[in-house]
Amino acid sequence: MRKHLKPRTFKKLKGKVDLSSNTAGIKSPNPFWLASAPPANSGEQVMRAFDHGWGGAVWKTLGEDPAVVNVTSRYGAIDIGGMKMAGFNNVELITDRPLDVNLKEIAEVKKKYPKHAVIVSLMVPCERKNWHDIVKKAEDTGCDGLELNFGCPHGMSERGMGAAVGQVPEYIQKVVEYVKEVAKTPVLTKLTPNIADVRFPARAAMAGKTDGVSLINTINSVMGIDLDTLKPKFAIGGKGAHGGYCGPAVKPIALNMVSQIANDPETKNLPISGIGGVSDWRDATEFLLLGSSSVQVCTAVMHYGFRIVEDMISGLENWMREHEFETLDDFIGKSAGDIVEWKHLNLHHKTVAKIDSSTCIECDLCFIACNDTAHQCIVRPSDYGKTGKGWKIPTVIEEDCVGCNLCSLVCPVEECITMEDVETGHAPLTWEQYTAAGMTGYKEVYKRFHD
Ligand SMILES: Cc1cc2nc3c(=O)[nH]c(=O)nc-3n(C[C@H](O)[C@H](O)[C@H](O)COP(=O)(O)O)c2cc1C
Protein backbone atom coordinates (compact mmCIF):
# COMPACT_ATOMS: atom_id res chain seq x y z
CA MET A 1 0.00 0.00 0.00
CA ARG A 2 1.34 3.49 -0.82
CA LYS A 3 2.57 5.47 2.15
CA HIS A 4 0.02 8.28 1.97
CA LEU A 5 -2.86 5.81 1.85
CA LYS A 6 -1.91 4.03 5.08
CA PRO A 7 -4.73 4.31 7.64
CA ARG A 8 -3.78 6.64 10.50
CA THR A 9 -3.80 5.24 14.00
CA PHE A 10 -5.78 7.31 16.44
CA LYS A 11 -4.78 5.54 19.61
CA LYS A 12 -2.80 8.52 20.87
CA LEU A 13 -5.56 11.02 20.13
CA LYS A 14 -7.27 10.88 23.48
CA GLY A 15 -5.15 12.80 25.99
CA LYS A 16 -5.91 16.30 27.24
CA VAL A 17 -4.18 19.18 25.52
CA ASP A 18 -3.97 22.80 26.56
CA LEU A 19 -3.92 25.38 23.76
CA SER A 20 -3.54 28.41 26.02
CA SER A 21 -0.90 30.77 24.76
CA ASN A 22 1.34 33.49 26.12
CA THR A 23 3.13 35.90 23.82
CA ALA A 24 5.33 38.36 25.74
CA GLY A 25 2.83 38.26 28.61
CA ILE A 26 -0.26 38.59 26.39
CA LYS A 27 -2.40 35.58 27.27
CA SER A 28 -5.11 34.02 25.15
CA PRO A 29 -7.12 30.77 25.29
CA ASN A 30 -5.49 29.61 22.05
CA PRO A 31 -2.70 30.91 19.78
CA PHE A 32 -5.04 31.99 16.95
CA TRP A 33 -5.43 35.76 16.66
CA LEU A 34 -7.02 37.95 14.03
CA ALA A 35 -4.30 40.11 12.47
CA SER A 36 -4.70 43.88 12.46
CA ALA A 37 -6.76 44.25 9.28
CA PRO A 38 -10.38 44.48 8.07
CA PRO A 39 -11.57 41.37 10.03
CA ALA A 40 -10.66 43.22 13.28
CA ASN A 41 -12.07 46.60 12.33
CA SER A 42 -14.98 46.90 14.77
CA GLY A 43 -16.30 45.61 18.08
CA GLU A 44 -19.16 43.75 16.45
CA GLN A 45 -16.72 41.79 14.21
CA VAL A 46 -14.22 41.01 16.95
CA MET A 47 -16.94 39.76 19.31
CA ARG A 48 -18.35 37.51 16.59
CA ALA A 49 -14.83 36.22 15.89
CA PHE A 50 -14.32 35.42 19.58
CA ASP A 51 -17.65 33.56 19.61
CA HIS A 52 -16.32 31.40 16.75
CA GLY A 53 -13.23 30.58 18.82
CA TRP A 54 -10.50 33.08 17.95
CA GLY A 55 -8.23 33.47 20.97
CA GLY A 56 -7.21 37.06 20.32
CA ALA A 57 -7.50 40.00 17.96
CA VAL A 58 -5.15 42.78 16.99
CA TRP A 59 -7.43 45.73 16.28
CA LYS A 60 -7.16 47.35 12.84
CA THR A 61 -4.47 50.02 13.30
CA LEU A 62 -5.55 53.20 15.08
CA GLY A 63 -4.10 56.58 14.13
CA GLU A 64 -4.89 60.14 15.03
CA ASP A 65 -8.05 62.05 14.09
CA PRO A 66 -9.02 63.13 11.54
CA ALA A 67 -9.17 59.54 10.34
CA VAL A 68 -7.64 58.65 6.97
CA VAL A 69 -9.59 58.60 3.71
CA ASN A 70 -9.32 55.38 1.70
CA VAL A 71 -9.57 54.91 -2.07
CA THR A 72 -11.72 52.55 -4.10
CA SER A 73 -10.87 50.03 -5.38
CA ARG A 74 -8.57 48.53 -2.73
CA TYR A 75 -7.84 44.85 -3.28
CA GLY A 76 -6.33 42.68 -6.00
CA ALA A 77 -5.51 38.97 -6.09
CA ILE A 78 -3.60 36.35 -8.01
CA ASP A 79 -5.28 32.99 -8.59
CA ILE A 80 -2.80 30.16 -9.14
CA GLY A 81 -4.20 27.09 -10.88
CA GLY A 82 -7.46 26.35 -9.12
CA MET A 83 -6.50 28.31 -6.03
CA LYS A 84 -8.35 31.61 -5.64
CA MET A 85 -6.53 34.39 -3.83
CA ALA A 86 -3.21 32.50 -3.59
CA GLY A 87 -1.68 35.98 -3.35
CA PHE A 88 -3.65 38.98 -2.12
CA ASN A 89 -2.80 42.66 -2.42
CA ASN A 90 -4.24 45.83 -0.92
CA VAL A 91 -3.74 49.57 -0.93
CA GLU A 92 -5.85 50.13 2.16
CA LEU A 93 -4.64 52.45 4.91
CA ILE A 94 -5.12 52.18 8.67
CA THR A 95 -8.61 52.44 10.19
CA ASP A 96 -10.83 55.10 8.65
CA ARG A 97 -13.18 55.11 11.66
CA PRO A 98 -12.97 57.88 14.27
CA LEU A 99 -10.55 57.19 17.13
CA ASP A 100 -13.09 57.60 19.95
CA VAL A 101 -15.49 55.13 18.32
CA ASN A 102 -12.73 52.50 18.09
CA LEU A 103 -11.57 53.12 21.66
CA LYS A 104 -15.10 52.79 23.03
CA GLU A 105 -15.65 49.51 21.17
CA ILE A 106 -12.27 48.10 22.27
CA ALA A 107 -13.23 48.77 25.91
CA GLU A 108 -16.61 47.07 25.39
CA VAL A 109 -15.03 44.00 23.80
CA LYS A 110 -12.43 43.68 26.54
CA LYS A 111 -15.09 43.94 29.23
CA LYS A 112 -17.27 41.31 27.60
CA TYR A 113 -14.37 38.93 26.78
CA PRO A 114 -11.93 39.26 29.68
CA LYS A 115 -10.07 36.02 28.86
CA HIS A 116 -9.44 36.83 25.19
CA ALA A 117 -6.44 38.83 24.04
CA VAL A 118 -7.32 42.28 22.74
CA ILE A 119 -4.28 44.02 21.30
CA VAL A 120 -4.41 47.55 19.94
CA SER A 121 -2.35 48.31 16.85
CA LEU A 122 -1.04 51.87 16.69
CA MET A 123 0.55 54.21 14.16
CA VAL A 124 1.17 57.92 14.70
CA PRO A 125 3.91 60.36 13.62
CA CYS A 126 7.38 59.73 15.07
CA GLU A 127 7.15 62.28 17.91
CA ARG A 128 7.40 61.38 21.59
CA LYS A 129 4.22 63.29 22.52
CA ASN A 130 2.11 61.70 19.77
CA TRP A 131 3.15 58.22 20.86
CA HIS A 132 2.68 58.93 24.56
CA ASP A 133 -0.84 60.26 23.92
CA ILE A 134 -2.00 57.35 21.77
CA VAL A 135 -0.49 54.73 24.09
CA LYS A 136 -2.35 56.19 27.08
CA LYS A 137 -5.64 56.38 25.17
CA ALA A 138 -5.25 52.80 23.95
CA GLU A 139 -4.39 51.43 27.39
CA ASP A 140 -7.32 53.25 29.00
CA THR A 141 -9.54 50.74 27.18
CA GLY A 142 -8.18 47.91 29.36
CA CYS A 143 -6.52 46.21 26.37
CA ASP A 144 -4.01 43.41 26.91
CA GLY A 145 -1.20 44.76 24.78
CA LEU A 146 -0.07 47.08 22.02
CA GLU A 147 1.27 46.40 18.56
CA LEU A 148 3.32 49.10 16.84
CA ASN A 149 2.62 49.10 13.12
CA PHE A 150 6.00 49.75 11.46
CA GLY A 151 4.98 47.74 8.43
CA CYS A 152 2.25 49.34 6.32
CA PRO A 153 4.08 49.68 2.97
CA HIS A 154 1.84 52.17 1.14
CA GLY A 155 0.17 55.49 1.83
CA MET A 156 1.14 55.74 5.48
CA SER A 157 4.82 55.22 4.65
CA GLU A 158 4.64 58.24 2.31
CA ARG A 159 3.58 60.21 5.41
CA GLY A 160 6.66 59.09 7.36
CA MET A 161 4.95 56.27 9.27
CA GLY A 162 4.55 52.48 8.87
CA ALA A 163 7.28 50.93 6.72
CA ALA A 164 9.10 54.28 6.59
CA VAL A 165 9.91 53.65 10.27
CA GLY A 166 10.27 49.90 9.94
CA GLN A 167 12.98 50.24 7.30
CA VAL A 168 15.29 52.29 9.53
CA PRO A 169 16.50 50.43 12.63
CA GLU A 170 17.39 53.70 14.45
CA TYR A 171 13.79 54.97 14.04
CA ILE A 172 12.41 51.66 15.26
CA GLN A 173 14.51 51.80 18.41
CA LYS A 174 13.59 55.43 19.06
CA VAL A 175 9.82 54.93 18.71
CA VAL A 176 9.85 51.73 20.77
CA GLU A 177 11.68 53.68 23.46
CA TYR A 178 9.00 56.42 23.38
CA VAL A 179 6.30 53.80 23.75
CA LYS A 180 8.05 51.90 26.53
CA GLU A 181 8.45 55.13 28.53
CA VAL A 182 4.69 55.05 29.22
CA ALA A 183 3.29 51.65 28.24
CA LYS A 184 2.00 49.46 31.03
CA THR A 185 0.98 46.53 28.84
CA PRO A 186 3.27 44.34 26.68
CA VAL A 187 4.43 45.91 23.42
CA LEU A 188 4.79 43.93 20.19
CA THR A 189 6.71 45.62 17.39
CA LYS A 190 5.27 44.64 14.00
CA LEU A 191 8.03 44.40 11.40
CA THR A 192 8.00 45.03 7.69
CA PRO A 193 9.38 42.37 5.32
CA ASN A 194 10.42 45.14 2.91
CA ILE A 195 14.02 45.14 4.10
CA ALA A 196 17.19 43.22 3.26
CA ASP A 197 17.74 41.43 6.58
CA VAL A 198 14.96 41.23 9.18
CA ARG A 199 17.43 40.60 12.00
CA PHE A 200 18.47 44.26 12.06
CA PRO A 201 14.98 45.73 12.68
CA ALA A 202 14.32 42.95 15.23
CA ARG A 203 17.53 43.78 17.09
CA ALA A 204 16.63 47.49 17.01
CA ALA A 205 13.20 46.76 18.48
CA MET A 206 14.89 44.72 21.19
CA ALA A 207 17.34 47.52 21.90
CA GLY A 208 14.31 49.80 22.38
CA LYS A 209 13.04 47.22 24.93
CA THR A 210 10.13 45.83 22.97
CA ASP A 211 8.45 42.88 24.69
CA GLY A 212 8.11 40.96 21.45
CA VAL A 213 7.88 41.22 17.68
CA SER A 214 5.17 40.30 15.20
CA LEU A 215 5.84 39.59 11.54
CA ILE A 216 5.35 39.85 8.67
CA ASN A 217 3.36 42.80 7.46
CA THR A 218 2.69 42.94 3.71
CA ILE A 219 5.26 42.88 0.88
CA ASN A 220 5.57 45.67 -1.72
CA SER A 221 3.89 44.48 -4.89
CA VAL A 222 2.24 45.44 -8.17
CA MET A 223 -0.44 42.96 -9.22
CA GLY A 224 0.03 43.28 -12.98
CA ILE A 225 -1.00 45.10 -16.12
CA ASP A 226 -4.27 44.50 -17.96
CA LEU A 227 -3.22 43.66 -21.51
CA ASP A 228 -6.47 44.99 -23.02
CA THR A 229 -6.51 48.40 -21.36
CA LEU A 230 -2.73 48.62 -20.70
CA LYS A 231 -3.71 49.91 -17.26
CA PRO A 232 -2.62 48.50 -13.91
CA LYS A 233 -4.65 45.67 -12.42
CA PHE A 234 -6.46 46.95 -10.23
CA ALA A 235 -6.73 50.61 -11.15
CA ILE A 236 -8.06 53.59 -9.28
CA GLY A 237 -9.17 56.04 -11.97
CA GLY A 238 -6.68 54.45 -14.36
CA LYS A 239 -3.73 54.59 -11.94
CA GLY A 240 -2.27 51.94 -9.68
CA ALA A 241 -0.01 52.18 -6.66
CA HIS A 242 2.19 49.51 -5.18
CA GLY A 243 0.31 47.68 -2.47
CA GLY A 244 0.95 45.10 0.23
CA TYR A 245 1.14 41.41 -0.76
CA CYS A 246 -0.05 38.69 1.61
CA GLY A 247 -1.94 35.39 1.66
CA PRO A 248 -0.73 31.79 1.05
CA ALA A 249 1.97 32.91 -1.44
CA VAL A 250 3.94 34.78 1.22
CA LYS A 251 4.11 32.02 3.86
CA PRO A 252 7.62 30.76 2.96
CA ILE A 253 8.96 34.33 3.18
CA ALA A 254 7.34 34.82 6.56
CA LEU A 255 8.59 31.46 7.88
CA ASN A 256 12.13 32.36 6.88
CA MET A 257 11.97 35.70 8.67
CA VAL A 258 10.48 34.17 11.81
CA SER A 259 13.22 31.52 11.87
CA GLN A 260 15.92 34.14 11.31
CA ILE A 261 14.80 36.03 14.42
CA ALA A 262 14.29 32.83 16.44
CA ASN A 263 17.82 31.67 15.58
CA ASP A 264 19.66 34.98 15.88
CA PRO A 265 21.75 34.79 19.09
CA GLU A 266 20.87 38.46 19.76
CA THR A 267 17.09 37.97 19.57
CA LYS A 268 16.85 34.27 20.40
CA ASN A 269 14.50 34.70 23.36
CA LEU A 270 12.41 37.51 21.91
CA PRO A 271 8.73 36.42 21.84
CA ILE A 272 7.30 36.23 18.31
CA SER A 273 3.76 36.43 16.96
CA GLY A 274 3.94 34.86 13.49
CA ILE A 275 1.97 36.27 10.54
CA GLY A 276 1.86 35.64 6.80
CA GLY A 277 -0.11 33.16 4.73
CA VAL A 278 -1.61 31.18 7.60
CA SER A 279 -4.72 29.48 6.23
CA ASP A 280 -5.13 26.38 8.40
CA TRP A 281 -3.81 24.59 11.49
CA ARG A 282 -0.89 23.13 9.56
CA ASP A 283 0.39 26.55 8.52
CA ALA A 284 -0.11 27.81 12.06
CA THR A 285 1.73 24.85 13.57
CA GLU A 286 4.72 25.46 11.29
CA PHE A 287 4.97 29.02 12.64
CA LEU A 288 4.78 27.67 16.21
CA LEU A 289 7.48 25.07 15.50
CA LEU A 290 9.75 27.81 14.21
CA GLY A 291 9.40 29.87 17.38
CA SER A 292 6.14 31.87 17.27
CA SER A 293 4.01 31.65 20.37
CA SER A 294 0.89 32.92 18.60
CA VAL A 295 -0.17 33.29 14.97
CA GLN A 296 -2.16 36.03 13.31
CA VAL A 297 -4.43 35.58 10.30
CA CYS A 298 -5.83 38.08 7.81
CA THR A 299 -6.21 36.87 4.19
CA ALA A 300 -7.64 33.43 5.00
CA VAL A 301 -10.28 35.06 7.22
CA MET A 302 -11.09 37.56 4.47
CA HIS A 303 -11.49 34.59 2.10
CA TYR A 304 -13.45 32.11 4.21
CA GLY A 305 -14.73 33.98 7.27
CA PHE A 306 -14.29 33.60 11.03
CA ARG A 307 -15.40 29.94 11.04
CA ILE A 308 -11.98 28.66 9.87
CA VAL A 309 -10.71 28.89 13.42
CA GLU A 310 -12.88 25.93 14.41
CA ASP A 311 -10.78 23.62 12.18
CA MET A 312 -7.60 25.33 13.33
CA ILE A 313 -8.40 24.49 16.95
CA SER A 314 -9.41 20.87 16.38
CA GLY A 315 -6.56 20.29 13.91
CA LEU A 316 -3.93 21.58 16.31
CA GLU A 317 -5.45 19.63 19.22
CA ASN A 318 -5.39 16.37 17.26
CA TRP A 319 -1.85 16.95 16.07
CA MET A 320 -0.71 17.66 19.63
CA ARG A 321 -2.37 14.48 20.90
CA GLU A 322 -0.74 12.46 18.14
CA HIS A 323 2.66 13.82 19.13
CA GLU A 324 1.90 13.62 22.85
CA PHE A 325 2.37 17.33 23.41
CA GLU A 326 0.27 18.65 26.29
CA THR A 327 0.98 22.37 26.01
CA LEU A 328 2.23 24.72 23.30
CA ASP A 329 5.49 25.13 25.20
CA ASP A 330 6.20 21.45 24.55
CA PHE A 331 6.87 22.24 20.90
CA ILE A 332 7.17 26.01 20.30
CA GLY A 333 10.51 26.55 18.53
CA LYS A 334 11.26 22.81 18.31
CA SER A 335 12.14 23.00 14.60
CA ALA A 336 13.87 26.40 14.61
CA GLY A 337 17.33 24.92 15.23
CA ASP A 338 17.00 22.78 12.11
CA ILE A 339 16.97 25.87 9.90
CA VAL A 340 20.68 26.53 9.62
CA GLU A 341 22.99 28.58 7.48
CA TRP A 342 24.00 26.87 4.23
CA LYS A 343 27.54 26.43 5.51
CA HIS A 344 26.26 23.97 8.13
CA LEU A 345 24.70 21.57 5.63
CA ASN A 346 26.34 18.18 5.10
CA LEU A 347 28.13 18.15 1.73
CA HIS A 348 28.30 14.36 1.93
CA HIS A 349 24.57 13.82 2.22
CA LYS A 350 23.21 12.17 -0.92
CA THR A 351 19.71 11.44 -2.16
CA VAL A 352 18.61 10.04 -5.50
CA ALA A 353 15.28 9.89 -7.28
CA LYS A 354 13.38 6.59 -7.50
CA ILE A 355 10.58 6.25 -10.00
CA ASP A 356 7.73 3.83 -9.36
CA SER A 357 7.04 2.54 -12.87
CA SER A 358 3.74 0.97 -11.75
CA THR A 359 2.19 4.39 -11.08
CA CYS A 360 3.96 6.36 -13.83
CA ILE A 361 1.51 7.82 -16.35
CA GLU A 362 4.25 8.44 -18.96
CA CYS A 363 3.58 12.16 -19.08
CA ASP A 364 7.28 12.80 -19.78
CA LEU A 365 7.43 15.82 -17.45
CA CYS A 366 10.25 14.40 -15.30
CA PHE A 367 12.29 13.46 -18.33
CA ILE A 368 11.90 16.89 -19.95
CA ALA A 369 12.67 18.74 -16.70
CA CYS A 370 15.76 16.66 -16.03
CA ASN A 371 16.97 16.60 -19.60
CA ASP A 372 16.42 20.27 -20.47
CA THR A 373 17.10 22.00 -17.18
CA ALA A 374 18.76 19.70 -14.65
CA HIS A 375 21.35 16.92 -14.90
CA GLN A 376 20.33 14.66 -17.79
CA CYS A 377 20.06 11.55 -15.62
CA ILE A 378 16.63 10.22 -16.61
CA VAL A 379 16.34 7.86 -19.58
CA ARG A 380 13.41 6.15 -21.30
CA PRO A 381 13.35 2.98 -23.44
CA SER A 382 12.57 5.21 -26.41
CA ASP A 383 15.99 6.80 -25.97
CA TYR A 384 17.42 3.42 -26.94
CA GLY A 385 15.17 3.15 -29.97
CA LYS A 386 12.38 1.13 -28.29
CA THR A 387 8.77 1.73 -29.32
CA GLY A 388 5.35 0.51 -28.15
CA LYS A 389 3.80 0.18 -24.69
CA GLY A 390 5.90 1.66 -21.92
CA TRP A 391 8.33 3.34 -24.32
CA LYS A 392 8.28 6.51 -22.21
CA ILE A 393 8.57 4.95 -18.71
CA PRO A 394 11.57 6.74 -17.21
CA THR A 395 14.46 5.32 -15.24
CA VAL A 396 16.97 7.26 -13.15
CA ILE A 397 20.71 6.78 -13.73
CA GLU A 398 21.55 6.88 -10.04
CA GLU A 399 25.27 7.58 -10.43
CA ASP A 400 24.45 10.77 -12.33
CA CYS A 401 21.51 11.91 -10.17
CA VAL A 402 22.45 14.87 -7.96
CA GLY A 403 19.27 14.61 -5.87
CA CYS A 404 17.97 18.04 -6.87
CA ASN A 405 14.27 16.97 -6.38
CA LEU A 406 13.08 18.63 -9.63
CA CYS A 407 11.64 15.43 -11.16
CA SER A 408 9.67 14.65 -8.00
CA LEU A 409 8.38 18.23 -7.88
CA VAL A 410 7.08 18.26 -11.46
CA CYS A 411 5.61 14.73 -11.29
CA PRO A 412 1.80 14.98 -11.15
CA VAL A 413 1.36 11.55 -9.50
CA GLU A 414 1.72 11.58 -5.74
CA GLU A 415 4.62 9.41 -4.52
CA CYS A 416 5.42 8.13 -8.02
CA ILE A 417 8.85 9.77 -7.74
CA THR A 418 10.39 9.70 -4.28
CA MET A 419 13.78 10.89 -3.12
CA GLU A 420 15.73 8.30 -1.17
CA ASP A 421 18.83 8.64 0.97
CA VAL A 422 21.94 6.85 -0.24
CA GLU A 423 24.73 5.74 2.11
CA THR A 424 27.94 7.38 0.85
CA GLY A 425 30.28 5.92 3.42
CA HIS A 426 31.65 9.42 4.14
CA ALA A 427 31.45 11.12 7.51
CA PRO A 428 29.41 14.36 7.47
CA LEU A 429 31.38 17.29 6.10
CA THR A 430 30.09 20.85 6.14
CA TRP A 431 31.45 23.79 4.18
CA GLU A 432 32.51 25.31 7.47
CA GLN A 433 34.47 22.20 8.50
CA TYR A 434 35.91 21.98 5.04
CA THR A 435 37.27 25.52 5.04
CA ALA A 436 38.38 25.26 8.68
CA ALA A 437 40.52 22.29 7.67
CA GLY A 438 42.32 24.60 5.27
CA MET A 439 41.01 22.92 2.15
CA THR A 440 40.28 25.84 -0.07
CA GLY A 441 39.07 25.78 -3.64
CA TYR A 442 36.15 24.01 -5.23
CA LYS A 443 38.26 21.36 -6.97
CA GLU A 444 39.23 19.66 -3.74
CA VAL A 445 35.76 19.52 -2.24
CA TYR A 446 34.38 18.36 -5.54
CA LYS A 447 36.93 15.53 -5.63
CA ARG A 448 36.20 14.57 -2.07
CA PHE A 449 32.45 14.63 -2.65
CA HIS A 450 32.82 12.29 -5.60
CA ASP A 451 35.41 9.97 -4.01
C1 LIG B 1 -6.78 44.69 3.41
C2 LIG B 1 -5.68 44.62 4.42
C3 LIG B 1 -5.55 45.62 5.37
C4 LIG B 1 -4.53 45.56 6.32
N5 LIG B 1 -4.45 46.53 7.27
C6 LIG B 1 -3.48 46.46 8.22
C7 LIG B 1 -3.43 47.41 9.27
O8 LIG B 1 -4.26 48.30 9.39
N9 LIG B 1 -2.43 47.27 10.18
C10 LIG B 1 -1.50 46.29 10.12
O11 LIG B 1 -0.62 46.22 10.98
N12 LIG B 1 -1.54 45.38 9.13
C13 LIG B 1 -2.51 45.42 8.20
N14 LIG B 1 -2.58 44.46 7.23
C15 LIG B 1 -1.56 43.38 7.21
C16 LIG B 1 -2.04 42.13 7.98
O17 LIG B 1 -2.25 42.41 9.34
C18 LIG B 1 -1.01 40.97 7.86
O19 LIG B 1 0.20 41.40 8.43
C20 LIG B 1 -0.75 40.55 6.42
O21 LIG B 1 -1.95 40.60 5.69
C22 LIG B 1 -0.17 39.14 6.35
O23 LIG B 1 -1.05 38.17 6.84
P24 LIG B 1 -1.96 37.23 5.88
O25 LIG B 1 -1.05 36.57 4.91
O26 LIG B 1 -2.65 36.28 6.83
O27 LIG B 1 -2.93 38.13 5.19
C28 LIG B 1 -3.60 44.49 6.30
C29 LIG B 1 -3.74 43.50 5.33
C30 LIG B 1 -4.77 43.54 4.41
C31 LIG B 1 -4.91 42.44 3.40
- The domain defined by 342-449 folds into Alpha-Beta Plaits (3.30.70)
CA distance 11 to 83: 34
Residue 248, ligand 1, Cβ within 6 A: no
Shortest-distance atom of ligand 1 to CA 218: 20
**Residues carrying CATH 3.20.20.70, the chain:** 21-338
448 close to 427: Cβ distance less than 8 angstroms: no
Angle 95-116-45 from CA coordinates, rounded to 5°: 40
From ligand 1's centre to the CA of 35, what distance in Å? Answer: 6
- Residue with CA nearest ligand 1 atom 14: 37
Nearest in space to 61 (alpha carbons), one of 178, 156, 192, 203: 156
For the 21-338 domain, the top CATH level (class) is: alpha beta
Atom of ligand 1 nearest to the CA of 74: 1
From 95, 298, 302, mutation site for ligand 1 pocket: most ligand atoms within 8 A of C-beta: 298
* Cβ atoms within 10 Å, residue 69: 7
Start-end of CATH 3.30.70.20 domains in the chain: 342-449
pLDDT the model gives residue 388: 74
Ligand 1 lined by 121 (C-beta under 6 Å)? yes
In the annotation, is 152 catalytic? yes
CA nearest ligand 1 atom 3, residue: 37
The CB of 277 under 6 Å from ligand 1? The reply is yes
Q: What is the pLDDT along the chain (451 residues), one digit of tens a residue?
A: 344 445 555 555 677 899 999 999 999 999 999 999 999 999 999 999 999 999 999 999 999 888 888 888 899 999 999 999 999 999 998 999 999 999 999 999 999 999 999 999 999 998 999 999 999 999 999 999 999 999 777 777 777 777 788 899 999 999 999 999 999 999 999 999 999 999 999 999 999 999 999 999 999 999 999 999 999 998 888 888 888 999 999 999 999 999 999 999 999 999 999 999 999 999 999 999 999 999 999 999 999 999 999 999 999 999 999 999 999 999 999 999 999 999 999 988 999 999 999 999 999 999 999 999 999 999 988 777 777 777 789 999 999 999 999 999 999 999 999 999 999 888 888 888 877 777 655 555 566 555 5
